[in-house]
Amino acid sequence: MIDYKKKIRTIPDYPAKGIMFRDVTTLMSDADAFAAAIEDLCKPFTNMNVTKVAGIDARGFILGGAMAVRLGAGFLPLRKPGKLPYKTLKESYQLEYGSDELHMHTDGVEPGEHVLLVDDLIATGGTAEAGVKLLRRGQADIVSAVFLVDLPDLGGARRLRQIGIDVTSLISFTGS
């Protein structure tokens, strides 16, 4: 069994003093660890008729694309402004120092489609909640929100559960 925590590099004081940045690119660059992580992320959903995997820009694309292939599902990118060429729905969310938006094509999901929401990490949950709101506006049935890493002290997973979303993650890091 692979110890995923040992495969993730921690960078102190990035992007600001006091932050312990969890760099998942080191896990993704290890072929065996990456393949095992995709398999483990998919296991709970193999018999749940997932029709789409929605990946959050940008590392959620890497995980979500691989998971979609593994689950036999389509992939739906949830992108930053100005990146999608067709008509979009948009959802704003707050950041520590400002705001941002996620966009989804208006025809990205069909009503009732079984969708997994995927990103590399959940911290405060603002970006993931914006993804949930977009998918709900498209009338998707959100099966779960799935993350490689949870930072439980920042409350993002709890925030999603409070709005009725099941949350799954492979590992968690306590502390900042």
Would residue 39 show up in a list of annotated catalytic residues for this protein?
no
Please identify which of the residues 22, 70, 79, 96 carries the catalytic annotation. 96
The full length of the chain comes to: 176
| Tokens linked to 123 | 């911290």
Would residue 161 show up in a list of annotated catalytic residues for this protein?
no
Please identify which of the residues 9, 22, 39, 59 carries the catalytic annotation. 59
- Of residues 28, 33, 25, 23, the one with CA closest to residue 2: 33
- Kindly give the residue spans of alpha helices, DSSP state H, lying in 11-153: 25-28, 31-42, 59-71, 126-137
- Of residues 143, 117, 139, the one with CA closest to residue 46: 143
Spell out where 3-159 has E strands: 9-12, 20-23, 52-56, 74-78, 88-95, 98-105, 114-122, 141-150
Q: Which amino acid is at 149?
A: V
Among positive and negative, which fits the CA dihedral 127, 51, 136, 45?
negative
Active centre residues (catalytic): 59, 96
